[in-house]
């Protein structure tokens, strides 16, 4: 295992993302959004680099930010930096009892820990098996999920999932009870900055956040804010705005009022206040184009309404692939997306086929001379091997030379439109030569 992959696995484990070994790498709960399934994928690429992808759509930068990493950490030659603790944020229950801490480090990283009744710390909040090291408890690293009935070591203990609460919970409850304003910020640093911004109004408002950052809002947090006036201070990036809109929608019908505001200067509340602005100068976002566009991604349409005229689609593969547009093959890692797609490519390269994959309702409308596959897989050698094997197994090994691949580099996604495809198809060379 390369140092880069080890580095990412350590970050995933410390952030409670539950990385699990698979045939091709690891799967994990993506920290970039409220992931209840294992939407994240980690694999080792060429040169030992770490390949990260969120199949729910989070950008690689969003995932890295949530883990306290940057793009240099994905490469084996990343320079180690001495990490130092700069702050410990206490999360307490309704009665002021410490439940857990979020530690902030520089270079920027976050780690969660909870106190053990007998002393020391338990270094994670998720349920699982923990072993004692240097007086503290560390989560046992297993290839599969932690199961309470399967004890992996003789000297380890099982700890249940830690209850998560809002930051400064007791003060939030008191402020809501008194009819005050609750600022929901993205992160403890921003919350503390807001709470110290206007001492003359102490008690009239409180700033809070949820542990884990963007995408980690839980329904039980909303119950604490029932009947409250809430101002969500969104970070000025895609993840922050998306998170603010999601929380606003979840609080409708619970809070008495909800609005979204952004920093007038800088990215977040701390930047805004450091620039000399007041809380009243936070910019209202609900009227801005960004929020309008983000909240209008989905629209309910009556397909049988007067404005919808039925149009028969044109297909390249009958009832399957349209003549205009992109086809998307989605499945979890190891779901045979590549093999199935290559079988379809094989059929598309042979003129005169009346059926696709032997299915009577899927017929070839027109054959192709060459095919470009756009993929997020990054190991060109492995993909060439699979392509050659599929074409050889179907009895037409020479067809492998008519398949080209557009690769994503460093965990990104290929930015290509249909207008780019004709020029891309002019590229000549071996199957793994199209690397942009």
Q: Assess whether 7 and 27 both reside in one domain.
A: yes
Q: Kindly tell me if the per-residue pLDDT of 151 is higher than 70.
A: yes
pLDDT tens-digit series, residues 267-325:
999 999 999 999 999 999 854 444 444 444 455 667 776 566 777 777 666 666 666 55
Output 115 or 62, whichever has higher pLDDT: 115
407 domain-assigned: yes
Q: Any idea what the CATH number is for the domain that residue 190 is in?
A: 3.40.50.140
In this structure, are 280 and 352 located in the same domain?
no
Number of domains in the chain: 4
Is the dihedral angle over the CA atoms 159, 41, 326, 390 positive or is it negative?
Answer: negative
Top-ranked range on mean pLDDT: pick from 19-28, 118-127, 210-219, 333-342: 118-127
Work out the number of other CB atoms within 10 angstroms of the CB of residue 87: 14
In the numeric block, the tokens 């492995």 are attached to 382
Query: 412: domain range?
Result: 315-424
Angle, helix 60-67 to helix 238-251, in steps of 10 degrees: 80
213 burial level (CB within 10 Å; 0-12, 13-18, 19+): buried
401: pLDDT strictly greater than 70: yes
Predicted confidence (pLDDT) at residue 145 exceeds the cutoff of 80: yes
Least confident of 159-168, 231-240, 295-304, 367-376: 295-304
Q: Is residue 223 part of a domain?
A: yes
Q: Are residues 269 and 345 in the same domain?
A: no
Residue bearing the bigger pLDDT, 144 or 180? 180
Could you tell me which residues come within 8 angstroms of residue 137 by beta carbon, excluding any fewer than 6 positions away?
A: 116, 120, 121, 122, 123, 130, 131, 157, 159
Domain final position from 110, 126, 159: 159
Q: What percent helix, strand, coil does the chain show, rounded to 5?
A: 30, 25, 50
Instruction: Give the up-direction half-sphere exposure of residue 28: CA atoms within 13 A in the CB hemisphere.
Output: 29
| Of residues 273 and 403, more confidently modeled | 273
pLDDT at residue 406, rounded to an integer: 65
In this structure, the answer to whether residues 106 and 214 fall within a common structural domain is no
pLDDT at residue 143, as a whole number: 78
For residue 95, is it within any domain?
A: no
Neighbours of 403 (CB within 10 A): 23
**Residue 303 lies inside a defined structural domain of this protein:** no
Q: Say which residue, 290 or 251, is predicted with more confidence.
A: 251
Give the pLDDT of residue 388. 86
In this structure, are 178 and 272 located in the same domain?
Answer: yes
* Residues 329, 409 share a domain: yes
Q: Are residues 173 and 291 in the same domain?
A: yes
Summarize pLDDT for 419-430 with one digit per residue, the tens. 555 555 554 433
Same domain, 134 and 19: no
Where a domain ends, among 135, 159, 183?
Answer: 159
- Tell me the residue ranges of DSSP E strands in 95-154: 98-106, 109-115, 121-122, 128-133, 136-139
Find out whether 337 and 329 touch, Cβ atoms under 8 Å: yes
pLDDT class for 88, splitting at 50, 70, 90?
very high
Note the pLDDT of residue 308: 66
- Regarding whether 283 and 173 lie in a shared domain, the answer is yes
Confidence bin at 77 (pLDDT 50/70/90): low
β partners of residue 128: 159
């Amino acid at each position: 295992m390369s140092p880069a992959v080890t580095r990412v696995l350590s970050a995933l484990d410390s952030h409670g993302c539950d990385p699990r070994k698979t045939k091709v790498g690891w799967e994990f709960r993506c920290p970039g959004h409220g992931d209840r399934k294992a939407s994240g994928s980690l694999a080792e690429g060429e040169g030992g680099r770490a390949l990260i992808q969120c199949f729910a759509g989070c950008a690689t930068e969003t995932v890295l930010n949530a883990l306290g990493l940057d793009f240099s950490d994905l490469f084996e030659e990343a320079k180690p930096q001495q990490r130092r603790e700069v702050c410990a944020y206490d999360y307490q229950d309704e009665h002021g009892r410490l439940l857990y801490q979020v530690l902030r480090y520089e270079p920027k990283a976050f780690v969660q820990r909870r106190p053990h009744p007998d002393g020391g710390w338990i270094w994670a909040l998720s349920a699982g098996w923990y072993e004692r090291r240097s007086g503290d408890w560390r989560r046992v690293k297993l290839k599969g999920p932690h199961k309470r009935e399967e004890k992996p070591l003789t000297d380890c203990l099982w700890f249940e999932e830690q209850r998560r609460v809002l930051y400064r919970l007791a003060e939030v409850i008191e402020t809501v009870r008194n009819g005050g304003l609750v600022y929901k910020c993205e992160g403890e640093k921003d919350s503390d900055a807001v709470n110290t911004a206007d001492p003359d109004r102490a008690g009239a408002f409180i700033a809070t956040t949820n542990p884990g950052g963007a995408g980690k809002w839980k329904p039980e947090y909303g119950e604490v804010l029932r009947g409250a006036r809430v101002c969500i201070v969104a970070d000025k990036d895609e993840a922050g705005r998306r998170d603010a809109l999601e929380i606003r929608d979840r609080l409708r019908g619970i809070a008495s009022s909800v609005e979204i505001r952004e920093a007038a200067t800088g990215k977040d509340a701390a930047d805004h206040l450091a620039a000399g602005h007041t809380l009243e100068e936070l910019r209202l976002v609900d009227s801005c184009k960004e929020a309008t566009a983000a909240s209008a991604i989905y629209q309910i349409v009556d397909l049988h309404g007067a404005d919808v005229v039925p149009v028969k689609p044109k297909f390249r593969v009958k009832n399957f692939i349209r003549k205009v547009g992109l086809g998307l093959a989605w499945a979890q890692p190891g779901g045979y997306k590549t093999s199935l797609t290559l079988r379809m490519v094989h059929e598309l390269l042979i003129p005169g086929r009346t059926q696709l994959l032997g299915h009577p309702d899927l017929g070839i409308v027109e054959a192709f001379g060459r095919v470009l596959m756009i993929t997020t897989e990054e190991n060109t050698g492995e993909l060439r091997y699979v392509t050659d094997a599929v074409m050889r197994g179907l009895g037409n090994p020479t067809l492998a030379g008519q398949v080209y691949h557009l690769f994503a580099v460093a965990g990104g996604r290929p930015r290509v439109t249909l207008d780019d495809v004709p020029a891309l198809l002019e590229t000549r060379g071996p199957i793994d030569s199209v690397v942009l």
